[in-house]
Structure 1
Amino acid sequence: MIRIHVTYTGGTIGMVESPDGLVPGADLHGWLFRLLEQGSDLDPSKVSMSTLDPLIDSANADPTSWQAIIDDLWRFHDSADAFVVLHGTDTMAYTTSALTYALTGFGKPVVFTGSQHPLGRIESDATANVTGAFNAALSGQAEGVELFFGHHLFAGNRITKTSSWAFEGFESPVTGPVAQSGTPWHWNHFDRSGKGWLDPRPYGRHDVAVLNMVPGIDARRLEAMVTPRPEAVLIRAYGVGNIPDSEPGLTDVIQRVAGEGIPVVVCSQCQQAEVMLGRYQAGAGLAASGACSAFDMTFEAVYAKLVFLLSQGLGPERTTRWMGVSVAGEMNDLHE
């Protein structure tokens, strides 16, 4: 029988009311094993569970939190066949993306889930999501790092959170879901191949400046946002990679930053997009500056990939080059 290990990191699923709002504190271990004993064919003795310390609201997650989960998964790698991670929804798409890059050599399925409501509430989606994650882990069809939420299974680096309240709180705008639960489940396998990464270094915190283009932004404000200089710049541009090219000096700021050897990556504010720098005149300045395209990656996947590459100590040139190469199926491989 398949053995499953569960890693509990915190998040809404195990929160309780406090004078300051919801905080971690529910008996998730007891709830989970009662659920398995009462309504599952899975032998509870084949399920192990670890709880990270401290439990956190996922709004407090950072790259060291990602690494703590990675370390826990490797700790139980040889004693389990599949893994379920219980995580808060706010930053789950960042965490799942980050883990896809770091775990290309893990060789066993890792399924994330969480809930919009705490498990103690009658209207909670916790039971449906957790049992769905277990079913995905037991299916024999899950691969790599995935997320089950709201009756859908998604590739971990192809998702974005689209709702703070709906039970179907995540979407995969470019590829669609890997599967939809039902009787039977409907699977939609698609190519998720990548180059992989041998023996990745641990995640660390890195200074990535995220710049959001908005109507009326000027060069003075943009310069202030990249002063002092960060380790990398991620620009959320319009459409296929456009910025206000008629705004005096705006493109000059980006060209100066790139000229100083700082990786500049351009993604789109659109959920469904393929960045094509220079397709319009408004994006030609970015293309000329040496900025690189995020192609069809989600914002969460791009950010996590930048932090991953910076954590590998590659240097600006190699970091920029690897942004255009699929490591774990995060982008359309036609661009490699």
Structure 2
Amino acid sequence: MKRKVLLIYTGGTIGMEKDYETGSLRAFDFSNIFEKMPEMKLMECEVFVHPFATPLDSSDMGPGEWKIIANYIHKNYNEYDGFLILHGTDTMSYTASALSFMLKGLRKPVILTGSQLPIGDLRTDAKENLLTSLYYASLYEDQEAIIQEVAIYFEYKLLRGNRTLKYSAEYFDAYASPNYPILGQSGVHLNIDKDNLYRSNPNIEFHVDNHISEDILFCRIFPGMNLNHFKELPTMKVLILQVFGSGTIFSNEKTIETLQAIRNNGTEIVVVSQCISGGISFGKYENSNIFSRIGAISGKDITAESAITKAMHLIDNPNYIGSFSENFAKCVCGEITE
């Protein structure tokens, strides 16, 4: 029996071709993908294509589009064995992270991929990324999907979606998962490290939690930063601070006064690291103790992309028991190391 994979094309470089008159890239009609890539017809799975009516640059992808994708997966969940989302590379980690929080009780693969070069280029990475992603999206064993989470496949590596970040705009090997090992790697064989795979609570049936709040601000701390600008900010539900190293910030009375005032206004403060690898450890250095004193939340080893989408998902979400701080500190779907 051939597995059925639903391919959702949202836009991005992978679905573009060069207009040789103007030299510019333009989106082609993705419903014709089988003509562009006849080798897809040789796959051991059946591929069904659902393109967005208007292909979007990844910089235009946001909460509205995340909901469209999540709801479309929900609508077709029982009809297909796996799902492949083609997406622009710049914000793919945000979409993968958001979907990981929204798709509850997932038991089937949801793979995202894209490319650095258009599918029609001679040196393109698009074909390998697309074909191998289809294999991963249709990978089953004993009638059970091997991958049961949201993942990104790029340049021979399968990565947990909410652990990824895009670290290169130039190289084909554009994504990294610095604080979690890879889920699999493709070569002559498709390798999977089953010990690294995520499994949902078996008592939770698949459903979509569409709750997303945009009442959030992300701010990177830098030396010499004028904290007076914080006083000009409107009140928000969550402020994510990206601080130095394992959780330090310049230590003076002004810092304490400013951050405490933000907390007193009812804003939750989440602290994440500017370092790609490693995480937050309150108390390791004296200059991190301020966050414990004001009741800030440690982001541990979460990525910035995952911290943002997790916060958006948790703010005032009626489907969670407990406070925002309690739920953010927990591992919801493999996004942090506990």
Taking structure 2 as the reference length, the TM-score comes to 0.89
Judge which range, 151-160 or 30-39, deviates more: 30-39
Q: How much has 1:80 moved relative to structure 2?
A: 0.5
Question: 1:57 maps to what in 2?
Answer: 57
Q: 1:36 to 1:203 in 2, by over 3 A?
A: farther
Amino acid at match of 2:198: R
Choose which of 199, 220, 226 in structure 2 pairs with 1:218.
226
- Alignment RMSD, CA only? 2.4
Whether the 8 Å CA contact 1:195–1:326 is kept in 2: the answer is no
Identify unmatched segments of 5+ residues in structure 2: 141-145
Choose which of 240, 243, 250 in structure 1 pairs with 2:246.
240
Q: 1:57-91 CA deviation, whole Å, 9 max, x = no partner?
A: 01111111111110111121111111111011000
Q: Runs in 1 of length 4+ with deviation above 6 angstroms?
A: 194-198, 314-317
Question: 2:30 maps to what in 1?
Answer: 28
Q: How much has 1:200 moved relative to structure 2?
A: 5.1
Q: 1:21 to 1:35 in 2, by over 3 A?
A: closer
Whether the 8 Å CA contact 2:5–2:47 is kept in 1: the answer is yes
Whether the 8 Å CA contact 2:165–2:177 is kept in 1: the answer is yes
- The separation in 2 between residues aligned to 1:83 and 1:195, in whole angstroms, is 20
Question: 2:143 maps to what in 1?
Answer: none
Choose which of 270, 276, 288 in structure 1 pairs with 2:281.
276
Identity of aligned residues (%): 27
1:105 is the counterpart of 2:105: yes
- The separation in 2 between residues aligned to 1:69 and 1:293, in whole angstroms, is 30
Q: 1:36 to 1:326 in 2, by over 3 A?
A: farther
Whether the 8 Å CA contact 1:150–1:168 is kept in 2: the answer is yes
- The separation in 2 between residues aligned to 1:219 and 1:319, in whole angstroms, is 25
Query: Partner of 1:261: helix, strand, or coil?
Result: coil
1:89 is the counterpart of 2:89: yes
Matches within 5 A, 1:1-336: 1-17=2-18, 22-23=25-26, 25-32=27-34, 35-37=37-39, 40-42=42-44, 46-140=46-140, 141-188=146-193, 189-190=195-196, 192=198, 201-224=209-232, 227-246=233-252, 248-310=253-315, 312-313=317-318, 318-333=323-338
Query: Partner of 1:121: helix, strand, or coil?
Result: coil
Identify unmatched segments of 5+ residues in structure 1: none
Q: How much has 1:30 moved relative to structure 2?
A: 1.6
Q: How much has 1:313 moved relative to structure 2?
A: 4.7
Count residues in correspondence. Answer: 327
Q: 1:33 to 1:82 in 2, by over 3 A?
A: farther
- The separation in 2 between residues aligned to 1:185 and 1:50, in whole angstroms, is 26
- The separation in 2 between residues aligned to 1:81 and 1:316, in whole angstroms, is 32
Judge which range, 85-94 or 52-61, deviates more: 52-61
Q: 1:314 to 1:76 in 2, by over 3 A?
A: closer
